[in-house]
Structure 1
Amino acid sequence: MNRIAVSPSVLQWARERAHLGIENLAAKFPKLLEWERGESLPTFKQLESFAKATHVPFGYLFLPEPPDIPLPIPDFRMLENRQLRSASPDLLDTLYAMQRRQAWLREARLECEAEPLSFVGSARLKDDPAAIGREMRRVLGLGNGWAAGVRTWQEAVSGLRNAMESLGIMAVVNGVVGNNNRRKLNVEEFRGFALSDVYAPLVFVNGADAKSAQMFTLAHELAHVWLGTEGSGLSGFPGVFPDGGVVEMFCDQAAAEFLVPETELRLHWQEARRDDAPFELLACWFKVSPIVIGRRVMDLRLVDRQVFFDFYEAYTRQERRQKQEVSGGGDFYNNQNVRVGRLFAVQVIRAAKEGRIGFKQAYDLTGLNGGAFQEYARRLGMELP
């Protein structure tokens, strides 16, 4: 049986890039540790299976050393003052898919002679981020108390997404790669990203995160769109004091004012402060994480730092004990409303219906094939021949 000479370091790179341990692959590749040590070699068929298991292009495994695959957008993620350089196949595949969607929609809008969206790139880093947060809220048409008027975090996320899409922003929330529930996105790797463009801006939120956290990420990435090309990039903002530089700080502050306006918070704090769990109470009102409320209250000097940090430590311990809320369940076609988005789906379906693009391209753009594409079009009220 022919064995293939491959670099042990490339095999290790492929495994680690996919965030997999030896134990995760041991059942399928019992000699993987020997391969990585250079003590034995895989067969061609084993190498093909390994490439599929680690989501790495097959040709990469024949390189003499691990390749450097740069992120296609700026990286604002920071951890302990270190910029995170690596990107998993799941993240990269998601980024590439969103870039393809954006490029297609941009061309479609240009062909229709659409006007550029004036709010994209309307902010500058020298601006007051709180003022930008208020302007974002005004443009989206969200008045005071809008989040308190909906029952659940899910409805609040949907309401914010719909408001963004009504402006022409593709707002995608997904916790997996496409529709592959076996490839879950890692919240510890990234929370979201923004692809700014004056014709087809796109915001992506990691749907594996809790719904209350998704609200903040949506607003944070929306601030990136307001900054335009100087704000396009990948966000992680781990911890309670993210250190992603001036861009991330600006977007955090704009998002905080957008979701939890200072005047509204001060008004409700007078009553909430007498409650046994004031941060949780206000979190239900504003539909954000209690940590966002606590941090906002501390920043406005309504409580001292020790009160907030005591709460933060207790809350995060409790959160770690609970099962993380993961997107991916529920009705498949309802999931497409957030994984693809009505704004984008309607444009693609209409183009396919009118013969401006082939159905294969429509399937590739939406990630829906054959009958699934037809059924989703029907549910959107767009019957196909």
Structure 2
Amino acid sequence: MAKVEINPKILKWAADRVGGIQVLESRFPRLNDWINNKSQPTFKQLETFAKATATPIGYFFLSEPPQEKLTIPHYRTISTRSTDQPSADLLETIRTMERRQEWMRDYLIDLGSEPLSFIGTAKLSDDPKQVAANIKEKLGLKDGWAAERGTWEDALRNLIARIEDIGILIMVSGIVGNNTHRKLNVNEFRGFVLIDEYAPLIFINGADGKAAQMFTLAHELAHIWYGVSAIFDLEQLQPSVDKIEQACNQTAAEFLVPEQEFLNHWKLHHKDTNRYQTIARKFKVSELVVVRRAADLRLIPQQEYFEYYRNKKDEWNNKSSDGGNFYATQTLRVGRRFSQAVISNVKSGKLLYRDAYRLTGLTNSTFEEFVNRQEGAFYE
């Protein structure tokens, strides 16, 4: 069968888009030979490789690898990673969210909606405690709001609902679209925020452990108040050195676990064997957030937090899930607010079904059932 001569640099670049050569070697045992120009793939092999790397087939016939750039800043906890090539999964996920945001913006403008007044109202010079208080006020949350919820998972569901109610889109997914073979990499990003005065959008990487998702959500919410789009990895729940990331982290911590309240509980329980569990139940956050807060307030050494994180990481990640009931999971992936807008436009005849399928990532066979279940949709 005829071979196809391909620039080895393009093959290497395509492999890097999905995690590197080592990720693909088992499927493409001749890959190193192709990259080292010892042999060439057949066109059929190239097609399979293109699909595996989510790379358009035409890219392989370019003279140089294309420059794929992120449209928003990517803040890394470890600054040396800043030069890493963004993965195909991240790029595709951002493009999908940007399309949804653009559609939602046009939809709201057509309805005569006003721009959201709280976008970008915070400044880096503001006290994070005051910014956190402003966010709570807008969401209609009182001090100690989480204590009224049964569990921190319940508190997370309630918080998502309140955030959507004030006009913010929230989408949670651990995969690209509905492709279960393309799991999003938490080490690359935990989430991102797309700022827009009509349709700000929060995306949470659902492949992350649920224990970390509450903090990610609060961090992203702070970004909306500061009015700055961003991608971030929050490795070990630590921000990058950038001022905006530091401000958002401080605001998120104060939003979830107010300093004075925390100090009061710490004074009562710091000698308890299960002190982190006890305090976590008070604030309805995960133990991870409590230990992080104790370290930030210098109540424990940073090293104790890092050891705790390492010991618990596998346990938390095992609790992450993008499975379960398909339609409930799909509500998370698409977002309740966005789903309602799409369904409303379909029913009014303003949006074609094929466009609704494209926007939601659903098919003819699943969209109707998804619509029927929306009244009883829930987060899990």
TM-score, normalised via structure 2 length: 0.93
Are positions 1:358 and 2:364 aligned together?
no
Structure 2 residue matching 1:356: 3-state secondary structure: coil
Correspondence for 2:297: 300
Residue aligning to 2:18: 18
Q: Which residue pairs with 1:30 in the alignment?
A: 29
Partner of 1:257: 254
Alignment-derived partner of residue 311 in structure 2: 317
- C-alpha change, 1:204 and 1:84, in structure 2 (3 Å) is farther
Paired with 1:31 and 1:258, the residues of 2 have a C-alpha distance of 52
Separation in structure 1 between the aligned mates of residue 350 and residue 122 of structure 2, nearest angstrom: 36
The aligned amino acid for 1:276 is T
- CA contact under 8 A between 1:351 and 1:357: conserved in structure 2? yes
CA RMSD of aligned residues (A): 1.9
SS in 1 for 2:180: strand
% identical equivalent positions: 45
Aligned to 1:113: 112
What is the number of residues matched between the two proteins? 376
1:81-105: per-residue Cα shift (whole Å, max 9, x none)? 5524421111111100100000000
> Offset at 1:80?
4.4
- Does 2:243 match 1:246? yes
Cα 1:29–1:294 shift into 2, 3 Å: closer
Instruction: Within 5 Å, give how 1:261-340 maps onto structure 2.
Output: 261-301=258-298, 303=299, 305-306=300-301, 308-320=302-314, 324-340=318-334
C-alpha distance in structure 1 between counterparts of 2:165 and 2:88, whole Å? 32
Report the residue type matching 1:187 in the other structure: V
Instruction: Tell me by how many angstroms 1:282 deviates.
Output: 1.7
Question: Residue 222 of structure 2 corresponds to which residue in structure 1?
Answer: 223
The residue matched to 1:380 in structure 2 has which SS? helix
Secondary structure of 1:193's counterpart equals strand
Q: C-alpha separation between the residues in 2 aligned to 1:190 and 1:318?
A: 19
Q: Secondary structure at the match of 2:70?
A: coil
CA 136–281 in structure 1, closer or farther in 2 if over 3 Å, else same: same
Question: Which residue in 2 is equivalent to 1:175?
Answer: 174
C-alpha spacing 1:322/1:356, structure 2 compared with 1 (3 Å)? closer
Contact preservation (8 Å) 2:292, 2:305: no
CA displacement 1:279-322 (0-9 Å, x = unmatched): 23222332334343233234334x2x43x522431442342477
Q: Distance in 1 between matches of 2:315 and 2:199?
A: 40
Any idea what the Cα deviations from partners look like across 1:61-112, whole Å, max 9, x if unmatched? 1122222200011222241455244211111111001000000000010011
Q: 1:133 to 1:256 in 2, by over 3 A?
A: same
Q: State the shift of 1:27 in Å.
A: 4.3
List alignment gaps of at least 5 residues for structure 2.
none
Contact 2:208/2:317 (CA < 8 Å) preserved in 1?
A: no
1-side partners of 2:151 and 2:12: how far apart? 44
- The alpha-carbon distance between structure 1 residues 311 and 234, as it changes in their structure 2 partners (threshold 3 A), is closer
Q: Which runs of 4+ in 1 moved over 6 A?
A: none
One-letter code aligned to 1:32 = L
The answer to whether the 8 A contact 2:168-2:201 is kept is yes
User: C-alpha separation between the residues in 2 aligned to 1:373 and 1:101?
Assistant: 16
CA contact (8 A) 2:119 2:224 kept: yes
